[in-house]
Amino acid sequence: MAKRKSARRKQNRAGRAPVPKQTPSSPVEGPSCSACGGPVVAGERFCRTCGAPVSAKAEETKPQSPSATAKTPGPDGKSAKPPEADAAAAPSAVTAAISWRPSRPALYAGAALLLLAVAATVIVLSSGNQSDGSDGTMKDPYAGLSETETDPSTPPKKAPNNGKLPSNSRSSMQRQVKSVIREHHQLIANGDLAGAFALMSRRKRARPLYDNPECTNSTCWAPAMDPLRSGLANPVRPSVRITRLYKRSGVAEIKVKLPRPNCPTGYWEGITWAKYEGGRWTYDPGWKTDETQRAQYDGPGDTQDARLLGVGCE
């Protein structure tokens, strides 16, 4: 009987695989057997090392890092979890806030709210600038305008029809005519008779001297200007005023007053004319130049009217 028991023990020992010893320096990774500590392959029900049944808890056990499993003694001598384990287990509020990203609809809604806030601010500021500051009431920006100025459907006023005259005002025409009269007589005073002749109208240059129909240029006209050239005060400072405008012919009747010391009154003055042609004002002297002027200022016996320029101071 004793021999049979010893033989059975030898067979059992021979049939079993030697159990490897685990060294503390080489920790087993993955699930381990609760009986021998050997590695267990996931899904197997028996340990390959010792043949012991593997529990379901051993299969689900996962390896933990030394930092997570290590325990540090607390102030009271008891073991406490390391702070790294708590930080890894639950993320902090700052980390959660940083990792959160708004959705696209949320971004659109925020942008729309921002634009509404800016528009409301602009409206409030503009309305504050329009208040008069006394009783807080709003000023009407159109209070001082007429209905025609505020109504965009009202057609603009048409420019006045001046015929052959320029479209500017009477005062502007008077300044331009005065400039031509001053320049014409200043050129005569300086001896530039050809330049003064060029400032006259076309019909006057075609017949500058009515008592000499053969004269058609400045050469024969210049000697007749010698008395005027010697008698004008230099520099010439004329006084010019428009007395009448003729739209059909583009002629302006003017009253001129030129300083001339050898005249009894000290001035060479009277009525003469200027004509607008070619986009500029020209000097158009002589009551015989135009039939309208001739009919109005022709004196008895074909004499010059006393109101015309030059009468009484030849």
Domain that holds residue 246: 170-297
> Residue 172 corresponds to which tokens in the numbers above?
């502007």
- For the chain, the domain total comes to 2
More confident residue, 103 or 20: 103
Looking up residue 213, the CATH number of its domain turns out to be 3.10.450.50
The answer to whether position 235 is within a domain reads yes
Predicted local distance difference test score (pLDDT) of residue 248 = 92
Boundary (domain end) residue, out of 15, 48, 63:
63
The answer to whether position 129 is within a domain reads no
More confident residue, 238 or 37: 238
Name which of 84-88, 195-199, 302-306 the model is least confident about: 84-88
Are 256 and 269 a contacting pair, CB within 8 Å?
yes
The answer to whether position 254 is within a domain reads yes
The answer to whether position 104 is within a domain reads no
The answer to whether position 212 is within a domain reads yes
The answer to whether position 190 is within a domain reads yes
pTM score, whole prediction: 0.50
The average confidence (pLDDT) of the chain is: 76
Name which of 109-118, 128-137, 296-305 the model is least confident about: 128-137
Question: Per-residue pLDDT tens for 29-48?
Answer: 667 787 787 787 777 777 87
Question: Per-residue pLDDT tens for 142-161?
Answer: 555 454 444 556 666 666 67
Predicted local distance difference test score (pLDDT) of residue 148 = 45
Question: Per-residue pLDDT tens for 76-118?
Answer: 555 555 555 454 445 555 455 555 566 777 788 888 888 888 8
Predicted local distance difference test score (pLDDT) of residue 223 = 93
Boundary (domain end) residue, out of 43, 63, 83:
63
The answer to whether position 81 is within a domain reads no
For a pLDDT cut of 90, what percent of the chain falls above it?
A: 34
Among left, alpha and beta (phi > 0; psi -120 to 50; other), residue 30 is left
CA distances from 86 to 65, 66, 89, 95, 299 (A): 14, 14, 5, 14, 127
* Residues 6 or more apart in contact with residue 306 via CB below 8 angstroms: 299, 312
CA atoms within 13 A on the CB side of 211: 5
More confident residue, 192 or 82: 192
Closest CA to 285 of 196, 204, 202, 192: 204
Query: How far apart, in whole angstroms, are the C-alpha atoms of residue 47 and residue 49?
Result: 5
Predicted local distance difference test score (pLDDT) of residue 37 = 79
Are 231 and 260 a contacting pair, CB within 8 Å?
yes
The answer to whether position 116 is within a domain reads no
